[in-house]
Amino acid sequence: MVAPLKLGIAGLGTVGAAVVTMIEQRADVLSARCGRDIKVVAVTARSKTKRRDLGLDGVSWAKDALALANDPEIDCFVELMGGSDEPALSAISAALANGKSVVSANKALIAKHGLKLAALAEKHGGAFNFEAAVGAAIPVVKTLREGLTGTDIDRVYGILNGTCNYILTRMEQEGLSFEACLADAQRLGYAEADPSFDIDGHDTAQKLSILASLAFGIKVSQSAVSVEGITSISPADLRAAAELGFRVKLLGVAVRTKTGIEQRVHPTMVPKSSSIAQVMGVTNAVTIDGVGMPPITLVGPGAGGPATASAVVADIADVARGIRALPFGRPVAKLEATKKAPMEHHEGGYYIRLMARDLAGTAATIATRLAEQQISIESIVQRHPDGAFEADGQPRKSSPVPVILITYATSEDAVRRALQAVQRDKVISGKPQVIRIEKN
């Protein structure tokens, strides 16, 4: 008989409680699939006295995470506390240094300290698994690390934050303002009281840095990701996108270019025909473009107790089976250094919305400035906003008119120079709205 895999779980919040419940309820199935039993033998949490509807009879309590990591009775340390530094960092480091395997759902910690922890796992022989850190139930880490080992990846991109996707979905479908949708997301528990980490794109950036490492063999570096949030997106942009055959999504994109790996997070227009455009609400999705194969899109719940717990338990099952994959798919020593790619070097199509003033020669001035930067226009739409006409049907003087441009592929630097010139010419009101386009 193979001895049971003995677990120590640090953190009994929504995810930790769901993991304990799943292991208890699916004990027979897990034993059959793994060839050995999986037992929770020790736990720790902020409060031992808090009422929990969990079967913890016979389970010992450690005074803190570090004590649990050093407990000689456990084989696998499961870290579900969160936080990019202490106490999670010291506890995981101790567990790995003791030769134990570690399973974590902590994207912030992995984005910041993943290389150090992976090196410890390599040195001492334990597994370091973190499927739940990106996309919760979506098995994208294992797909990149193991399923596509023989495939060269050109691009990986996706919707990695359910809060932002929910807000953009509601704005598009109901014509609501960003502020109204954010307030509703907070009421429903999809957004935090301070939502800035999500809506400013930093949550997506942490996850993207992990995916980029797995896809391209580069060192995890959140600082190498260019980040923009969704607060500038208006219902007018979403309506225009729909009319032009696009949807707006907050995407994390890592792509191989002639000058290196470009990593970026920003609002993006994607064709309505694309798989990623069909992903609505709080759902997450990741598309992988590999050499010699059609794109693969993985879709599923990106957060929540049961969804995250399913990924955690799958990682635990791999430990029970004796699987020891390199955490980032390659030895840490062979991961290549990376740096932030200047966004002005980015090349692609652009959506540009300008509020053009009612002045003679405005259209010609805009066209001239674009032509000076060799920017070609794929389509142009001019519409008069409500209140732009007098009672007799004549255009109201001095009322700015929205002009929407879709460009062919060009450089970001060219777009910025052209729009700066247009602003200097004083033929538009306010700041131009620019959204990058990501083709299939």
Give me the active site residues, please: 207
Q: Do residues 216 and 256 make contact, with C-beta atoms less than 8 angstroms apart? A: yes
Helices and strands, number each (H, E), in the chain: 14, 17
Sequence-distant (6+) residues with CB within 8 A of 256 are 153, 154, 155, 216, 262
Who's near 51: CB < 8 A, 6+ residues apart?
Answer: none
Distance between CA atoms of residues 57 and 381, nearest Å = 67
Q: Which 8-state DSSP code applies to residue 218?
A: B
Give the pair of three-digit tokens for residue 27. 């004990």
> Could you give the C-alpha distances from 439 to 270, 336, 408, in angstroms and in order?
6, 28, 11
Which of 58, 67, 7 is CA-nearest to residue 37? 7
Residue 435 backbone dihedrals phi, psi, to 5 degrees: -130, 130
The structure tokens listed for 257 are 């270019």
Helix (H, G, I), strand (E, B) or coil at 45: coil
Are the C-beta atoms of residues 265 and 205 closer than 8 Å to each other? yes
| Other beta carbons within 10 Å of 32 | 9
Cβ–Cβ < 8 Å for 134, 210: yes
Distance, CA of 184 to CA of 179 (rounded, Å): 9
Helix (H, G, I), strand (E, B) or coil at 337: coil
Is residue 403 within 8 A of residue 381, CB to CB? The reply is: yes
Considering only CA atoms, give the Rg of the chain: 25
